[in-house]
A and B are shown apart, each in its own frame.
Chain A
């Protein structure tokens, strides 16, 4: 493989991983807050930098499948909870805005505690996503660049360009994503988290997904169809007198 081919391959493989991390960071940023998402990202990059600096040549020994299994299960549970809440809100079984509920003072105190907790979980979610995908990028760089120091340079350059491009994409998407209505965003984020969670848990268990990362799109389409059917079914069921 010549230098440009090596850099191109590393670029494409790293771009896929970086987009996966960006999706989660965007989700946390839009539904929680950008400082929380960026703090989680910054912590992950710091830890990643330390891991690469200390254990660079040993990166292929990281138990990435076990890590994916644990993170995948948490993401699936998190995604299902959000998706369920968004579906119930669309069907009118749950108020669109919790602040409309009675006992506003108690509710707002509860929400404040929930917000603080949510921020911590949001931070951990962004942290884990960036750490896992970052580790995969690092492993790609080390694997493709194993042949020589020149190969390592080409591989790192390709991966670096991919990460920079995806960061620019994230900055461009930040504002448009913030304007989407809250429940629609939670619905979409629920689908994304459930899809990533299913995919990662499956990979951690040893499932070889059809089309590799491409099956993420199939999973998202599948959960979107199921959720849309559930919204329709729950609305119909809601009209039937008990």
Chain B
């Protein structure tokens, strides 16, 4: 089983959803390092992932 096949099975054929997850992780790391309250970080984190889901639903395939 190739790495590309594993990746496609896990992440599907959307490009936007994995980008949103990467962005959510990066934003959370930056916010946590700047001592932003966890509630704010958690909201931003889940919010970016939800936006990624929305973007992936309307993604041209």
A-side residues, CB < 8 A to B, are: 73-74, 76-78, 80-85, 87-88, 114, 117-118, 120-121, 194, 198, 201-202, 205-210, 215, 219, 222-223, 226-227, 230, 234, 237
A77 to B19 CA separation, bound complex (whole angstroms): 10
Main secondary structure of the interface of B (DSSP, over half): helix
| CB within 8 Å of A: which B4-25 residues | 5-6, 9-12, 14, 17-18, 20-21, 24-25
Chain B residues within an 8 Å CB radius of A81: 10-12, 14, 17
Closest to A83 in B: B53
How many chain B residues touch the partner (CB < 8 A)?
Answer: 31
B8 CB, min distance to chain A CBs, angstroms: 9
B-side residues, CB < 8 A to A, are: 1, 5-6, 9-12, 14, 17-18, 20-21, 24-25, 28-29, 32, 38-39, 41-42, 45-46, 49-50, 52-54, 56-58
A201 to B20 CA separation, bound complex (whole angstroms): 13
B19 CB, min distance to chain A CBs, angstroms: 11
